[in-house]
């Protein structure tokens, strides 16, 4: 084993890392990153890693981008933070206006917070209170997909799939309904995508039909279930689910925390199916991965159900200290400017077919059971357990950050990636997996 640097010793003495069994850290200590540029992370010894998962799905235009950096520095010279109740600031006004203009047209109001879980939690509470405010006292439950992931706070865990990670907390959960995830790789009807009629929607339809009086909202990650294993599902499912929600008077919450800001090849995944949700939650990519921020967008109809004299007790009493932080707003505005200046979306759209074509090659490997992709997201589901961790360790030796989700090795590429970088990253990953393919 390599000698641990003084920094790592101190890290292991004082820090408690997320999703980490700290005992394992003694064998596989964290890597100390000192700087980053574009899609590369540099460690304390000068070794670099391709940031193939965008530093947990948030980086968009690359690290150390001059425009975003300059915007944050400029903001720092005038105002770093101010409370957002009773006060406001120009960045939050401009950003809210821009978010309304780039999201589906049903959405006209922005409620800021500071991470993905709080953006979802806000939508749950708003939906719940909307029904309370409008005299529908029984509408108190939520519907989610059984492989969904919507965050790690108690409310958002309650509407996420119960797995290894959150099973221990299940006694604390809100009451909710889970319906089967549309998962073409494991289609229970053995259907083929080209001929199927989205039969997997049946259970959702039955539930909404019989229980809609108890249901406040249906929440979906549009088209890609991220932490559930990068499960890509047909846009027809999303479009039909949205119609059912409307038909049965249930809100539709789209959790675009991972899919938002270009990752699927469109600004928001909802656009692929032309869906008009009642709520949209964004976070990760909103500041291009530079500062924490969350936002929940909603419709004028929902906003109006809270708009009343104070004595009517319809106010939304919810908020977070760092709501609409000015530095985060400056980063988010700069990111939207980069989208325009660098034509980020159309540039990415030209590369996506190449990326998908390169991914197809993994189908030759017998150890790869499924290959799925949408936009700059690509996933390889392995047929065997336990190798993904080995692949992660081997990947690090070869400059790749391939942090797996169970049996799934995936790419969540920053939109700024170049064609040659896609080729290099995928070729190296292919050779890595090939070594385990007997
Ligand atoms: C990451 C994620 C969240 C939670 O965001 P945090 O900022 O980690 O709290 C919620 N929903 C989805 C779809 C996510 O991918």
Asked whether the predicted pLDDT for residue 201 surpasses 50, the reply is: yes
- Helix and strand tally (H, E) in the chain? 14, 15
| Closest-lying ligand 1 atom to the alpha carbon of residue 152 | 9
Asked whether the predicted pLDDT for residue 3 surpasses 90, the reply is: no
Mean pLDDT (the chain, rounded): 96
> Ligand 1 mean position to 219 CA, how many Å?
13
The predicted structure's pLDDT at residue 386: 87
Q: At what angle do helices 202-211 and 235-247 cross, to 10 degrees?
A: 10
| 43 CB-near residues (< 8 Å, 6+ apart) | 31, 32, 33, 34, 49
Domains of the chain: which residue ranges?
31-61+343-434, 70-340
Confirm if 181 and 225 have CB atoms less than 8 A apart.
yes
Scan for tokens 């009807």, then name that residue: 189
Cβ-in-10-Å burial (0-12, 13-18, 19+) of 22 comes to exposed
Asked whether the predicted pLDDT for residue 329 surpasses 80, the reply is: yes
- Spatial CA neighbour of 388 closest among 406, 376, 371: 406
The predicted structure's pLDDT at residue 175: 86
Provide the percentage of residues in the chain whose pLDDT is more than 70: 99
Say how far apart CA 381 and CA 370 lie, in whole Å: 5
Residue 228 beta carbon below 6 angstroms from any ligand 1 atom: no
| CATH topology for the 31-61+343-434 domain | 3.90.1150
Residue 149 beta carbon below 6 angstroms from any ligand 1 atom: yes
> Ligand 1 mean position to 257 CA, how many Å?
6
Kindly indicate the confidence band of residue 4, based on its pLDDT and cuts at 50, 70 and 90: confident
**pLDDT, tens digit, 9 for 90 and up, residues 82-125:** 999 999 999 999 999 999 999 999 999 999 999 999 999 999 99
The predicted structure's pLDDT at residue 1: 47
Determine whether 149 is an active site residue: yes
Query: Which class in CATH covers the domain with range 70-340?
Result: alpha beta
Do 31-61+343-434 and 70-340 agree at the fold level? no
The predicted structure's pLDDT at residue 164: 77
| Closest-lying ligand 1 atom to the alpha carbon of residue 116 | 5
Residue 150 beta carbon below 6 angstroms from any ligand 1 atom: yes
> How does strand 141-145 pair with strand 215-220?
parallel
Asked whether the predicted pLDDT for residue 362 surpasses 80, the reply is: yes
> Ligand 1 mean position to 308 CA, how many Å?
32
- Best mutation site among 121, 165, 284, 295 for ligand 1 pocket (most ligand atoms within 8 Å of CB): 284
Residue 121 beta carbon below 6 angstroms from any ligand 1 atom: no
411 - beta bridge partners?
Answer: 378
> How does strand 176-179 pair with strand 141-145?
parallel
Q: Whose CA is nearest to atom 5 of ligand 1?
A: 116
Residue 51 beta carbon below 6 angstroms from any ligand 1 atom: no
Q: What is the pTM of this model?
A: 0.97
> Ligand 1 mean position to 138 CA, how many Å?
28
**pLDDT, tens digit, 9 for 90 and up, residues 252-277:** 999 999 999 999 999 999 999 999 99
Say how far apart CA 115 and CA 258 lie, in whole Å: 11
The predicted structure's pLDDT at residue 2: 58
Whole-angstrom CA distances from 224 to 149, 231, 257, 387 are 10, 5, 11, 24
Determine whether 19 is an active site residue: yes
Which structure tokens are listed for 290?
């530079």
């Amino acid at each position: 084993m390599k000698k641990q640097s003084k920094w790592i010793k101190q890290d292991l003495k004082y820090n408690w890392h997320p999703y980490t069994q700290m005992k394992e850290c003694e064998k596989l200590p964290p890597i100390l990153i000192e700087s980053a540029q574009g899609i590369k992370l540099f460690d304390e010894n000068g070794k670099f890693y391709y940031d193939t998962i965008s530093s947990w799905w948030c980086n968009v235009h690359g690290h150390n981008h001059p425009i975003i950096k300059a915007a944050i520095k400029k903001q720092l010279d005038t105002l770093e933070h101010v409370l957002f109740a009773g006060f406001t600031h120009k960045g939050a006004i401009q950003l809210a206006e821009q978010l309304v203009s780039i999201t589906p047209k049903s959405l006209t109001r922005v409620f800021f917070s500071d991470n993905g879980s709080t953006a979802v939690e806000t939508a749950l509470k708003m939906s719940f209170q909307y029904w309370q405010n409008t005299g529908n006292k029984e509408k108190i439950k939520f519907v989610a997909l059984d492989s969904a992931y919507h965050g790690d706070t108690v409310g958002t865990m309650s509407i996420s799939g119960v797995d290894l990670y959150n099973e221990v907390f299940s006694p604390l959960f809100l009451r909710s309904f889970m319906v089967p995830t549309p998962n073409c790789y494991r289609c229970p009807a053995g259907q083929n995508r080209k001929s199927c009629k989205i039969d997997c929607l049946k259970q959702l339809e039955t539930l909404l039909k019989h229980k809609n009086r108890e249901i406040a909202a249906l929440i979906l990650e549009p088209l890609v279930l991220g932490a559930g294993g990068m499960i890509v599902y047909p846009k027809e499912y999303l479009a039909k689910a949205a119609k059912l929600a409307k038909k049965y008077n249930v809100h539709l919450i789209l959790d675009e925390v991972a899919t938002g800001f270009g990752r699927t090849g469109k600004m928001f995944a909802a656009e692929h199916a032309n869906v008009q949700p009642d709520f949209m939650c964004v976070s990760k990519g909103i500041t291009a991965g530079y500062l924490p921020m969350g936002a929940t967008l909603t419709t004028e109809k929902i906003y109006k159900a809270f708009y009343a004299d104070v004595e009517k007790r319809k106010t939304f009493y919810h908020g977070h200290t760092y709501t609409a932080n000015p530095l985060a707003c400056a980063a988010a505005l700069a990111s939207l400017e980069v989208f325009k200046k660098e034509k980020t979306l159309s540039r990415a759209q030209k590369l996506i077919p190449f990326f998908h074509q390169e991914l197809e090659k993994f189908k030759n490997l017998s150890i790869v059971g499924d290959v799925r992709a949408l936009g700059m997201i690509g996933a390889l589901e392995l047929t065997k357990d336990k190798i993904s961790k080995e692949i992660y360790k081997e990947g690090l030796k070869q400059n790749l950050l391939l942090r797996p989700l169970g049996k799934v090795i995936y790419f969540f590429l920053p939109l700024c990636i170049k064609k040659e970088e896609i080729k290099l990253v995928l070729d190296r990953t292919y050779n890595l997996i090939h070594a385990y393919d007997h």
